[in-house]
Amino acid sequence: PDFDLVIRNGKVATASETFFSDIGIQDGIVVALAQNLPAGAREIDATDRLVLPGGVDTHCHVDEPRAPPTASADSFASGSASAAAGGTTSLICFAKQGPNISATDAVAAHHQRARRARIDFSFHITLTDPTPEVLEQQLPALVEAGHRSFKIFLTYSGSRITDGQALRVLAAGRKLGALVCIHAEHHELIEFYTEALVAAGLTAPKYHAWAKPMIVERECVHRVCALAEALDTPIQVFHVSGAEAAEEIARAQDRGLKVWAETCPQYLVLTEQDLDRPGFEGAKFIFSPAGRTTADQEALWEAIRRGTIFNVTSDHAPTRYAGPDGKLAFGADAPFTKVPNGVPGLAARLPILFSEGVAKGRIDLQTFVAITATNPAKLFGLAPRKGTIAVGADADIAIWDPAKQVTITNELMLHDNDHTPYEGMQVTGWPEITLVRGVPVVEHGKVVAEEGHGQFLARGPYDFIAPRGVFPTPFNPVDRVVVG
Ligand code: URP
Ligand code: ZN
Ligand code: ZN
Ligand code: ZN
C-alpha cells in the first residue's frame, strides 16, 4: 500500500475552507490530500462524515495534586480518553507550583503523571509564588525545555498572587517569549462579599454567583489588560464569562493590544440559575467565574463571531460529587465556600460547540474549527503541526457524524468523574473516530489506544506572541527589573 491509512470520501474542513478529499497518512503525518488516492494499509470510509482537525484544548486541569476529598477526579489515562471521546487530540494542562514544590519540581512531577496520556499534551506552568529564584533561575530553563506559557491566578487563597507579583510574571513572559494566561477576578471584593453572605447565613450553592458577580470579573479583566499594556506583554484572559468582560476585551483589542480571550462551553449553555437546582444538585454548577445569564450567552456567541473571543476551552476541573461512602464528598450542606470550583468538560466541549454553534446556525463550520483547534494551536505555538488538516501536519483528526443525535450522559464522557453538568443535554453531531498521529484513540465510544501513546509537545519560540514594542513611555522598564 502507498499509505499507512487513507480516510476516504470525507468532507474535510479547516478554519478557511471545506472540501471533499481523501487523506493519505504515513508515519502519523498527513502526506496527501486529494481525491481518489491509491490504497492504504488501512482505510476508513468517511462518506457522509465531516473530517475535522482534532480539537486542541488549551485549558484543562488534569491530575493536579489537591487534598482529599476534593482530589481531582482524572488521571492522564482517563482525562486523555475523555478528551479523545469528544474529538480532542491535544491538551495543554497545568503543572502547578505549590507551597512545598518548586516550579521545576512541579513540572518534573507532572511529566511523570502525563506518561499515561493517550493523546498529545503540553504544560502551562502555574506560578503561585514567583520569587526571583523562580523567575530568573527556574523559568528560563523550563521555557527552554518547551514549557512556553505561564498561568497566574489573581483570586483563590493559596493560589492568588498580587498585582505586583503579576507584573513580574508578565515581565518574565515578555523576556522569555512565553504567553501569560490569567484568571482575572477581584480577590478582595470576592472575600468581602463572601464574608457578608456567610454572616447573613446565605451559603447555598446559588450564593456562589452572588459572591462572584460580573463586576469582580469586569474590573479585573480591565486591570489585567492595563497591566499587559503597561509592560507591553501579550496575554490570554481565561474563561470570559459574559457581556461586560467581553466588552473589556474588545476595548483592549481596539487599542491594538495583543490580548486574546477564551470562553468555555459552561458559559455558553449554563447560567447562574443552574446553581439553584433542588437540594445540593446546584453544587455541580459551582465554577469560577460563575455562570451568568442567557443574555450573556448570546453576547459570548457574538464575541466569538467578531473574533473578540479567540478560542474555546473546557477548563476541565473535575471533582467527584460522592465520596467513597456514596455520600457527598464535601457534605450535603457544605457552604458554597467549601465546594471545589470547576466542572468536567473535556469530552463535552466539541459536541456542545458543534451542536449549539454550527447545528443551530450561530457560527459556521470554519469558525468552529478556528476556535476549537486552529486558533489555540497558533496562540500556544503548536501550529502548523497541530490544529489543522494540511500536508505535513500531524494526522490528528476527528471524523464526525454531523447528524447524529446524542443525549449526553456521564458514561459517554469516558472521564473518571461521577457526574457531568451536561447530563441529559441533547446534541446534534458527534465524533465517531478520533485519531492522534494517525492512530485511533477512541472509536465509536471505545478507548482503543494504549496509555502512553500521547507525546509531550515541547513548544519553541514563535512569532505569534511577539510583543508590539510599544510602552507607555520611551523607556523599556522590563529589562531592568526581571533578569532572565
Ligand atoms: O472553577 C474553575 N474554573 N476551576 C478551575 C480552576 C480555574 O479557575 O480555572
Ligand atoms: Zn509507516
Ligand atoms: Zn481559572
Ligand atoms: Zn482553569
Q: How many Cβ atoms are within 10 Å of 33's Cβ, its own excluded?
A: 15
Which of 59, 61, 343, when mutated, tests ligand 1's pocket best, judged by the most ligand atoms within 8 Å of its CB? 61
Could you give the C-alpha distances from 171 to 174, 252, 267, in angstroms and in order? 5, 19, 31
124 within ligand 1 shell (Cβ under 6 A): no
Question: Cell numbers of 396, please?
Answer: 490528528
- The single-letter DSSP state of residue 54 is P
Binning pLDDT at 50, 70 and 90, where does residue 329 land?
confident
Half-sphere exposure of 286 (CA within 13 A, CB side): 25
Give residue 484's pLDDT.
52
pTM of the predicted structure, to 2 decimals: 0.97
Distances (CA, A) of 69 to 130, 330, 338: 28, 7, 11
Q: Which of 97, 84, 101 is nearest to 126 (CA)?
A: 97
The interface predicted TM-score of the complex, written ipTM, equals 0.91
Q: What is the pLDDT of residue 323?
A: 80
Rounded to a whole number, what is the largest CA-CA distance in the chain?
Answer: 72
Nearby residues of 317 by Cβ (< 8 Å), 6 or more positions away = 60, 61, 72, 287, 340, 341, 342, 343, 344
Work out the pLDDT band at 182, boundaries 50, 70, 90: very high
DSSP conformation class of 367: H
Ligand nearest to the CA of 184: 3
If you compute the radius of gyration of the chain from its CA atoms, what whole number of angstroms results? 22
Pairing, β 149-153 against β 179-183: parallel
Cα-flanking dihedrals φ and ψ of residue 349, to 5°?
Answer: -55, -60
Which of 62-66, 164-168, 195-199, 407-411 bottoms out in mean pLDDT, i.e. has the lowest? 62-66
For residue 212, pLDDT beyond 60: yes
Q: Are 413 and 32 in contact (CB under 8 A)?
A: no
Q: Which of ligand 1's atoms lies nearest the C-alpha of 59?
A: 9
Q: What angle do CA 478, 262, 62 make, to 5 degrees?
A: 95
Q: Which residues, in sequence order, are CB contacts of 184 under 8 Å at separation 6+?
A: 154, 217, 220, 221, 223, 224, 237, 238
Residue 437 Cα to ligand 3 midpoint, Å, equals 30
What's the CA-to-centroid distance between 289 and ligand 3, angstroms?
A: 7
Q: Which H helix or E strand runs over 24?
A: strand 18-26
Residue 155 CB less than 6 A away from ligand 1: no
- Mean pLDDT computed over 394-413: 98
What is the distance between the alpha carbons of residues 183 and 295, in angstroms, rounded to a whole number? 23
Stretch 313-331: mean pLDDT: 88
CB 420 within 8 A of CB 433: no
CA–CA distance from 390 to each of 16, 172, 202, 370, 386 (Å)? 12, 34, 54, 14, 10
Choose between 331 and 186: higher pLDDT.
Answer: 186
pLDDT digits (tens, 9 = 90+) for 113-149: 999 999 999 999 999 999 999 999 999 999 999 999 9
Which residue's CA is the closest to the ligand 1 atom numbered 8? 288
Return the ligand number nearest the Cα of 60: 4
Q: Residue 98 in contact with residue 126, Cβ under 8 Å?
A: no
Question: Cβ–Cβ contacts within 10 Å for residue 466, how many?
Answer: 12
Average of pLDDT values for 154-171? 96
Whether the per-residue pLDDT at 332 is higher than 90: the answer is no
Q: Identify whether the C-beta of residue 91 lies closer than 8 Å to the C-beta of residue 60.
A: yes
Partners of residue 181 on adjacent β-strands: 151, 236
Q: Which atom of ligand 1 is nearest to the CA of 287?
A: 1
User: Looking at the CA of 5, which ligand is closest?
Assistant: 2
Q: What is the pLDDT of residue 198?
A: 98
Nearest residue to 380 via CA among 309, 305, 460: 460
The DSSP element (H or E) to which 435 belongs, if any, is: strand 426-436
Which cell goes with 203? 451559603
- On whether the CB atoms of residues 154 and 184 are closer than 8 A, the answer is yes
